Amino acid sequence: MSKIKEINEYAEEVEEEIIIYDEFEDAIIGLADRFGMDTSVAYDYDKVIKILMEDMSYEEAVEYFDFNVIGGWVGDSTPVFIKVL
């Protein structure tokens, strides 16, 4: 089962809207819960950058990510991006 399908099934179960960035499915590492906010999808930051680098340089990928991805607030279930140590 795909990660997106699993997340959608979970969202139905808990009756929450969970925002998913389909183009970054391979970077999904799980779900995150924060006090007073809806569940969000957690993405591996470095994997997201690598996905973006399929079409652009590292610098362009980081700039695009900063402005268009992490810079976009879409509500309490806005995805989170984690630097895995």
Check pLDDT > 80 for residue 1: no
pLDDT in tens, 63-77: 999 999 998 888 888
Residues 6+ apart with CB under 8 A from 48: 24, 27, 65, 69, 81
pLDDT in tens, 34-85: 898 889 999 999 999 999 999 999 999 999 999 999 988 888 889 999 999 9
Question: What's CA 38's distance to the chain center, in Å?
Answer: 14
Q: What is the pLDDT of residue 75?
A: 83
